A and B are shown apart, each in its own frame.
Chain A
């Protein structure tokens, strides 16, 4: 009796939280399926009738070509995730596992770099990217995003690495593997769940990043990511919420697919006994 009450309570709480998160998404989905111009027609219905795909055809059509922005976003986020995890992984490994002076201070310093609000560093970043000749290009977006992602992922990974048993590294060294190989062959596979959680955060952070993307793209569609492209919907013509919603739904799809995919591999990694200590 008490047990079932407990189950019921946790179910209610979970449902409330899930509703709170999903309701806006649901509203976006519904709006995207309405005919443009009918978004606010009363009475509001739980599901639009008739369902209209007009907005999707528009944002995918020659005027907007949101698929191009989605591809850009995918490229940028993937490159940022790979770059940030690699660099943060090395830094975190050094901080968590090696002995050197000013270790704690170096972690603090990295953290401090992450504390500056984006608006503070946006101007210097712009100047830097301009002098590198990378304005309106994807690399110009990737490089600073990697830099922005490093503090958080270093911190996450360092915590994760610190919990891996030292004996494993020593064993790999006496087995004849030099440190970088030990990192690749022993530490990284064991840290897969940690890498995944850091990777998801970095990927989503850079997927939704707006201010830097807007600044660096300079309004050229070649370097526009999804958030910037969607902003364009409201500037080119009048603001059409159905278009914006359709763009949001389309931009969510690859993220959802990716998360589901990676979740599976990570669960496999877990059941393979990667972290049983």
Chain B
């Protein structure tokens, strides 16, 4: 086990910069999830830590060892691939024994080790099969087993669940997290699925254009997105963004006739000058929907109602919004507006996020919204 860190690491492919002078120290023994849209550099970063990609600049550290120039076969990193990358010409046993053979272990030690790992993963009855005789879920377990059969400094997982069906994926999320806890090996997990990222991460690192957009505790990131990008990427259904203005006092935002208080913790001066445009963000579950007119509310029309069982997703249009743009709101299942019925939306001041439209950064975090 070791603390894995990257320092000012960069990777350029021709004129494209995939990773841009990124510095981060991964929790020793923790599960760090790298998340971001495709092309954000998360897989490239992972491959540089594995040694499969040579950095254009910067260093990779395993503990107090600079491994930047160490080839992948001499680094002690175990990687799980999206395609599983099982060796098709070898049995499951041979696949799992392969990394141990590279370490020149004795035959019976290899056998013991493989059998123990296979048992822990519930694949001991598959050891004599070839990969093509396995189901997707079984292949996934073998791929995990091949990584877990040895004691690496770090596990690197590149979207390991994206080829599984939805139900199996949820099941494996929990399983990987449980195994990771039990083994206590530093794990870096790459995904583009924000739900997977939220549920699995001890530490969440949101990447964009090869840089860290925000990093930290996943729930804190959810509650206090540092930028509009993070707010939009983390959370499903997606957060609502509404263009508003600061009113003449500088102490409230305006949308048409509607005025709303700034979050209590935001000093009036932080918002900027009167009349300045702002982007208001509010998560669908934070929008209060009422069938009757209430104070400080925006009239809107229910366009579509999507029942989700324990709740429903309402898609809403409002005259104060640009034509064609719809707001999302999560409502209790018993709130059932008729199609095109007028409803009133309230945005609780404690729950709104305000972003500067030029920098896309949050004006100030809306800390302390109790959940």
Contact = CB atoms under 8 A, between A and B. Distances in A.
Given A170-B52, A171-B79, A177 B85 contact: no
A176 B88 CA distance: 18
B112 interface: no
B81 A170 contact: yes
B207 to A, nearest CB: 21
B78 interface: yes
Given A165-B83, A167-B83, A272-B130, A175 B99 contact: yes
A181 B72 CA distance: 13
B98 interface: yes
Contact of B73 (A165, A167, A178, A277): A178
Contact of A190 (B72, B89, B99): B89
A168 interface: yes
A173 B99 contact: no
Interface residues of A, number: 24
B79 A273 contact: no
Contacts, number: 75
Interface in B215-247: none
B130 A176 contact: no
A172 B98 contact: yes
B61 interface: no
A275 interface: yes
Contacts of B130: 272-273
A203 B370 CA distance: 77
Nearest to B47: A170
A2 interface: no
Contacts of A165: 83, 85
Contacts of A177: 73, 98, 102
B187 to A, nearest CB: 14
A171 B131 contact: no
Given A176-B73, A276-B132, A167 B85 contact: yes
A189 interface: yes
A263 to B, nearest CB: 18
A168 B85 contact: yes
B71 A273 contact: no
Interface string B60-71: 000000000001
Contacts of B85: 165, 167-168, 170-171
A218 interface: no
B99 A186 contact: no
Interface string B37-53: 00000000001001110
Nearest to A171: B85
B77 A174 contact: yes
Q: Which of B81, B89, B99: most chain A CB closer than 10 A? A: B89
A274 interface: yes
Given A172-B98, A176-B73, A272 B89 contact: yes
A178 B70 CA distance: 12
B83 A276 contact: no
B11 interface: no
A51 to B, nearest CB: 48
Nearest to A189: B89
Q: Which of A168, A176, A186, A269: most chain B CB closer than 10 A? A: A176
17 contacts: A165-B85, A167-B83, A170-B47, A170-B50, A170-B79, A171-B146, A172-B98, A174-B50, A174-B52, A174-B79, A174-B156, A176-B73, A176-B103, A178-B73, A189-B89, A190-B89, A277-B88
The 9 A-B residue pairs whose C-beta atoms are closest, nearest first, are A176-B102, A167-B85, A171-B85, A175-B99, A273-B132, A174-B79, A173-B72, A273-B130, A189-B89
Given A167-B83, A170-B47, A175-B99, 4 more contacts: A186-B87, A190-B87, A273-B89, A275-B88
